[in-house]
Structure 1
Amino acid sequence: MLSMSFLITVFWYCRRLYSFLAQLLKRWSNYLQRKLIKNRSVLEEVDLLGYSAREWREETKQAKHMREAYNELFQNYHIKYLRQVRKDNYCVLRAVLFQIFSQGIPFPSWMRERDILKLPEKLLYSQGCNWIQQYSFGPESYTGPNAFGKLRKCMETLKTNWAEISGTKDHEERGNMCNALFSDESKEHKLYEAIKFIMLYEVVEAYEQMKNRDEPLPHLFSLLFARDTSSDPLSFMMNHLNAIGDSGCLDQVELFLLGYLLEVKIRIYRLHRFNTEGFQVNCPDEYRREWNEISLLTEDDRYYHIPVIRT
């Protein structure tokens, strides 16, 4: 009798313990989920017209113009939803990379043919560009001799995450991986700095070809080198790239360069240019038919969101 009573007591305490642990696990899971959502830099889809009505509810001329532009996207471009992107100076890089990863777009062809981890070393030693010590990592304005090591870590982060996510065929699993990655600010920033460096590397390569007259360059490089502020790779880095992530974002010619090196056609809907020829632009304007397409939406050419098309 004593033994049975003891077993009942043990069973009762085990049930209480199990219930307590289950509640604790549920609370911890809810906490992590809330934290993940709070830290997420690309939010879930929201209704496009509902977003427009909330953001531009005044009766000013500008607000009416914006509501008309959003309605145009909904009615004639089959854009029904919107994913909001964190508004900082990495915004456009974030919107582009998120779509590349979430769609499972593979490495561009040139990146599959060479090891991108060796690009910082090649630029520094083979091409003698020791001025990359003046490279700025977003808000971190000067790193000096540490620039090479930091760049390599950024390239490793980009290569590892891109390969892992693009190799995941299940759409839902790939989406969960993207949500986790774009909730980790440290990893995110490494991705963007890697892309910035690849842009710099591509400009150095193009500049050498231009000097040696090796072969005709895409039109975007003529536009880039024609600017007084980016007439050579060093001025391009100092006056443009170093500001990205800190005090500036990408100009249109840099968006051309971004699409070119990632081998994606970036279609941009510029709502403030509604009813003009500049309402929709493609970056670059010269692209190959086999390239994947991604879309951006901007109200001011500074901050970008992700339009979601439903046919």
Structure 2
Amino acid sequence: MACLPSDTEWLVSKETKEIKNIPEKLQSRYGLIEGWSFPDVCKQTSGIKDDVALLKHHLSLLQKWWRAAAASPGLEGRRRLCDQLFQGGEDEFGVMEALKLLMLTCAVELHDIMQRGRDVPIFCWLLFSRYTSSCPRTFLANHLSRVGFSGGMGQVEMCLLGYTLHHTIKVYRLYMANMKEFIVTHYPDNHIQDWPSVCLVTEDGRHYDVAVGDPVCLREDFSGGPH
């Protein structure tokens, strides 16, 4: 697998140099971190009992692996790095929890913008119109905290993930193969031209895989956009 994007600008910019302080800020301002659901391997392996401290540790892991991916030579180098990461241990689960934390941070910021009556991406209205996620707290409790445990991510969460990472997630939906205009979906779809993209494949709209192998020249492009 080589699904870690190589662009690290969003992780090392001036605004994100204090990335490790995110858990403390979310806890002190909103009380969102206390009681975070962690995979058992995270607390058992790290020995860190405090939720804020553990999430700060996971953010450090994310930065370490992301920067290593950016420094890896080409696609094959990133693929080997990802093979090292995705072994089911603390680093893999810690990186996933860090990504969920960044998604929550983005959701909080977007919700605050909505509350002030300013423009937000369309998916935000869908995200916060559900009775199960009318605000960041209920979004965390009813949706985000279950990702990786008893649930996955719906389309609106995929939009939030892409928006959080400043990457377009391009999904080839194989179960829609007979409807060419619907086979490819972008999450979100408003930065297709100016954000890097990550491609996934799904056979049922619930389980997603990263296509691995040498690129091939397709006879027909269903993306509706430039190659």
Q: TM-score range by the shorter chain?
A: 0.7 to 0.9
Structure 1, gaps ≥5 residues long: 1-41, 43-97
- 1:259 paired residue among 137, 162, 176: 162
Shift of 1:110: 6.9
* Residue in 1 that maps onto 2:145: 242
Amino acid at match of 1:210: M
Given the superposition, is the C-alpha separation of residues 110 and 189 from structure 1 closer, same or farther in structure 2, using an over 3 Å criterion?
closer
Superimposed CA distance per residue, residues 132-175 of structure 1 (whole angstroms, 9 cap, x where no aligned partner): 213212468x9xx8221111111010011111221233554443
Amino acid at match of 1:151: L
Given the superposition, is the C-alpha separation of residues 268 and 139 from structure 1 closer, same or farther in structure 2, using an over 3 Å criterion?
farther
Amino acid at match of 2:194: E
Alignment check: 8 A CA contact 1:295 1:307 kept: yes
Given the superposition, is the C-alpha separation of residues 111 and 241 from structure 1 closer, same or farther in structure 2, using an over 3 Å criterion?
farther
Does structure 1 residue 190 correspond to structure 2 residue 94?
A: yes
Amino acid at match of 1:235: T
- Distance in 1 between residues matched to 2:9 and 2:51, nearest whole Å: 25
What TM-score, normalized by structure 2, do the two folds share?
0.82
Alignment check: 8 A CA contact 1:297 1:304 kept: yes
Amino acid at match of 1:123: L
What TM-score, normalized by structure 1, do the two folds share?
0.61
- 2:81 paired residue among 165, 177, 184: 177
Amino acid at match of 1:177: L
Structure 2, gaps ≥5 residues long: 44-48, 218-227
* Residue in 2 that maps onto 1:26: none
- Distance in 2 between residues matched to 1:210 and 1:271, nearest whole Å: 35
* Residue in 2 that maps onto 1:136: 37
- Answer with 105-114 or 156-165: which moved more: 105-114
* Residue in 2 that maps onto 1:310: 216
- Distance in 2 between residues matched to 1:203 and 1:232, nearest whole Å: 9
Superimposed CA distance per residue, residues 59-100 of structure 1 (whole angstroms, 9 cap, x where no aligned partner): xxxxxxxxxxxxxxxxxxxxxxxxxxxxxxxxxxxxxxx412
Amino acid at match of 2:137: L
Given the superposition, is the C-alpha separation of residues 271 and 176 from structure 1 closer, same or farther in structure 2, using an over 3 Å criterion?
closer
Alignment check: 8 A CA contact 2:27 2:34 kept: no
> Which structure ranks higher in relative contact order (CA pairs < 8 Å, sequence separation ≥ 6)?
1
Does structure 1 residue 149 correspond to structure 2 residue 50?
A: no
Q: How many residue pairs were aligned?
A: 206
Alignment check: 8 A CA contact 1:108 1:261 kept: no
Q: How many percent identity over aligned positions?
A: 32
The structure with the larger Rg is 1
Cα RMSD of the aligned pairs, angstroms, is 2.3
Amino acid at match of 1:183: Q
1:204-215 correspondence to structure 2 within 5 Å: 204-213=108-117, 215=118
Alignment check: 8 A CA contact 2:4 2:78 kept: no
Alignment check: 8 A CA contact 2:61 2:95 kept: yes
- Distance in 2 between residues matched to 1:163 and 1:206, nearest whole Å: 26
Shift of 1:108: 4.8
Given the superposition, is the C-alpha separation of residues 240 and 138 from structure 1 closer, same or farther in structure 2, using an over 3 Å criterion?
farther
